[in-house]
Structure 1
Amino acid sequence: MLHITAARHAQLFRLTQRRLQSGTFTACPYHQAKEGSATVMAQGAMEHCPVVGTTPHMGCPVEASLCDRRPPTMLAMVSQMGKSQLSAYVAATALAGYVIAGGTAPLVAAAVTTGTMLQSCSANTANQIIEAPYDKLMKRTCRRPLPMKFLSPQAATAISGMELTLGTGLLYCVSPPAAALGVFNWFLYVCIYTPLKRVSALNTWFGSIVGGVPPLMGGFAVAGIITPPVWLLATFLFVWQIPHFNGLAFHCRRDYEAAGYKMLAFYNPWRASFYAVALSVMMAFLTLVCPTLAGMEVEGVWYYSVTAAANALMIYKSLLFHNEPVRHCRGCFVFSYVYLSVVLAAIMLNHIQPMHLAQRAIDYVAAEATEASATSSAVVSTAET
């Protein structure tokens, strides 16, 4: 088995050399950035790309993967640049804000969710356009479409503009204030947070503001105002960003440092992990104590049981990260997604329990009927006059 594996690696390396010499694809962007030339990769005496591994007989893993596959489809590249999975979480937080504010119209909820996701995808694409020269310096990002030259910056700009236009238009149809807030959040992410990453370690706090805005957009879509429970959810998401991102930043600290980003994770790892613990405790306070203070109707023991268990595990993961950051940084980062999913689901289910949902639907239909009746009466009176 080892002999077969070694033979396979050698075959991939020879194929890589031939394809590099023939010019059928460019070399690994990480390697280009480090060595300054794609031709160096084709030389037999050259050590392979230092991104991963130390196996002397194997070529750059990025080049080896290119030997086995063609460039991704346009849909796959659009999804990768827009960070579709992350954008789906952003859209879910906007939906949570809509539900908490008392929204019951399915079409409006769909418009808020889709519009927010499109705006988020646009912001992420614009971010990758700006950071393309630095993405090629990092293992985590060097395979993105722009560093790999699968897509031109002009095409990426067109995609970002189209997503922003569609998302803003969709939000404007249901709530102009929500659409305006989404555009502001796009500007904050692309024009403030993105360049600040290379200037100050405070960039994480500005990025956290971006994460707290989508629930406010969902709240605006209900009645044009933001209720205290929606503000509470926005505050929770602002706080959640810090332990979430600090775990990622420490895990990728060498990448960020190589690309010139200013992250607390490698300037002061102890403080970064301490913030994760402190803010995990704060999230427990926000989800267990503050809902009642904010006027939320918390029904049943199940909500407190689920959120208490989720918060206990999040605090535990943060403590592990603080005590052994090298070993547990990624675990804290990954679990933060699980934690967020559980808490958001608990909050929304608490607001859409069958009896409450039915009552809200009845109230909504009654209000629509009353408005329609008043309009009809006004029309009849005008006609008689």
Structure 2
Amino acid sequence: MSTLPSATAKAPVGVSAHAHEPAETAHASLAFHPAPGATATFIGDLRELFKFKVTAMVLITTWAGFYLGSLDSGISSIQRGLLNTLIGVGLASAGSSALNEALERKSDAKMIRTANRPIASGRFSLAQGAILGLIAVVLSGVWLLNTTNPLTAGLTLLTVFSYVAIYTPLKRVTTLATFLGAFPGAAGPLLGWTASRGQIEWPGIALFAILFVWQFPHFMAIAWLYRHDYGRAGIKMLPVVQPDGLSTVIEALFYAVLMIPVSLAPWYLHMAGIPYAIYATVLGLVYLGYTIRFARILRARSETESRMFARDLLKVSVIYLPLLLTGLMLAATVRHP
């Protein structure tokens, strides 16, 4: 791997730690001492290959689903089953991220924000990235099947398949890929719920719906920020296909409005009481307010101003989701069907 030093690398001129050693001893010493920073670079590349931040968000939402499912069963979520679920889902997320980067290596290389990814930049080969991804996915399926239940294992592998085999290639074909990609993107809390409860139930579907709807204003902000990058790579995002921004704004607004009633679904289902309903409504109105502000991209006076509106919505979307889930977890009660 390119991050490892060559065994034939020369010592710096005038500085030789091996000046008094036999040649073969110095050669062996060099072979087992990576260049300064090589290990850190390799670890950083693994974090990027497995999309550490994305995987961390998936695990947070999975934990929320497991916690709420355990509460519904009247048992503590602090148990071996939680760790087993997080390990399995984490492996699946990491593996699908690596496979995604393997498939998108050429388009990644054309975009400023992704050109330095390990496969796109050549620090990892295609084979290395694909093999690591496949190993992680297979381990995920085996682990979840043996430590949780067949339903959770099957849903997890279906999520990986839809993300890697459907969403990823369709990004270069149609803007519909964003809608289809929201399905695997929303799977985390449902997987946590099924791992805890062993079945698909309305509360788990409600959690799935919250994640599904939340993604669209979030995605539209990202798509607008990086529309020129996406255009260079040939990825069919709405701002690329319809560069005036109107369709982008309409889609973001539609789902931001829809987010309010969808976020109240746990209240409808008696998962939480009035305090959660008030809290979720206030958060939803803030999210909607920033999405309305995002609509100013249609008459922004400069690219800098336009990017500011998109970046602000992106920041609020990232803050909104954990705040909503945390509020739900704190306010949740045991249902009485």
Distance of 2:277 and 2:267 partners within structure 1: 12
Amino acid corresponding to residue 205 of structure 1 in structure 2:
F
Paired position in structure 2 for 1:182: 156
Paired position in structure 2 for 1:11: none
Deviation, 1:75, is: 2.1
Which of 128, 142, 146 pairs up with 2:101? 128
Paired position in structure 2 for 1:46: none
Which of 232, 241, 261 pairs up with 2:235? 261
Distance of 1:69 and 1:331 partners within structure 2: 35
2:169 matches 1:169: no
Paired position in structure 1 for 2:22: none
Distance of 2:331 and 2:88 partners within structure 1: 25
2:263 matches 1:287: yes
Is the 1:122–1:159 Cα contact (8 Å) retained in structure 2? yes
2:297 matches 1:324: yes
Deviation, 1:260, is: 0.4
Which of 293, 316, 327 pairs up with 1:335? 316
Which of 212, 215, 233 pairs up with 1:241? 215
Is the 1:71–1:150 Cα contact (8 Å) retained in structure 2? no
Q: Secondary structure at the match of 2:110?
A: coil
Q: Secondary structure at the match of 1:151?
A: coil
Paired position in structure 2 for 1:119: 92
Q: Secondary structure at the match of 1:171?
A: helix
Is the 2:96–2:164 Cα contact (8 Å) retained in structure 1? yes
Show CA shifts across 1:76-108 (max 9, x none): 211111111111111221222222223534211
Distance of 1:121 and 1:196 partners within structure 2: 20
The TM-score with structure 2 as length reference comes to 0.79
Q: Secondary structure at the match of 1:200?
A: coil
Structure with larger Rg: 1
Paired position in structure 2 for 1:202: 176
Deviation, 1:271, is: 1.4
Deviation, 1:278, is: 1.8
The TM-score with structure 1 as length reference comes to 0.70
Is the 2:272–2:328 Cα contact (8 Å) retained in structure 1? no
> How big is the alpha-carbon RMSD for the aligned residues of Structure 1 and Structure 2?
2.3
**C-alpha distance 144-111 of structure 1, shift in aligned 2 (>3 A):** same
Paired position in structure 1 for 2:330: 349
2:67 matches 1:99: yes
Paired position in structure 2 for 1:230: 204
Deviation, 1:111, is: 1.5
Distance of 1:77 and 1:115 partners within structure 2: 21
Which of 246, 250, 256 pairs up with 2:224? 250
Q: Secondary structure at the match of 2:70?
A: coil
Amino acid corresponding to residue 205 of structure 2 in structure 1:
W
Distance of 1:296 and 1:149 partners within structure 2: 49
Q: Secondary structure at the match of 2:262?
A: helix
Distance of 1:128 and 1:81 partners within structure 2: 7
2:48 matches 1:80: yes
Which of 296, 318, 322 pairs up with 2:271? 296
Deviation, 1:154, is: 1.5
Distance of 2:39 and 2:238 partners within structure 1: 36
Q: Secondary structure at the match of 1:225?
A: coil
Larger RCO (alpha carbons 8 Å, 6+ apart): 2
Which of 109, 121, 125 pairs up with 1:148? 121
Is the 2:175–2:237 Cα contact (8 Å) retained in structure 1? yes
Deviation, 1:294, is: 2.1
Which of 190, 193, 213 pairs up with 1:219? 193
Show CA shifts across 1:297-316 (max 9, x none): 32x63x24432332122111
Amino acid corresponding to residue 250 of structure 1 in structure 2:
W
Amino acid corresponding to residue 334 of structure 1 in structure 2:
K
Amino acid corresponding to residue 41 of structure 2 in structure 1:
T
Deviation, 1:174, is: 1.3
Q: How many residues align?
A: 286
Is the 2:151–2:199 Cα contact (8 Å) retained in structure 1? no
Is the 2:267–2:277 Cα contact (8 Å) retained in structure 1? no
**C-alpha distance 267-71 of structure 1, shift in aligned 2 (>3 A):** farther
Deviation, 1:69, is: 7.3
Paired position in structure 2 for 1:10: none
Deviation, 1:334, is: 2.1
Distance of 1:138 and 1:187 partners within structure 2: 25
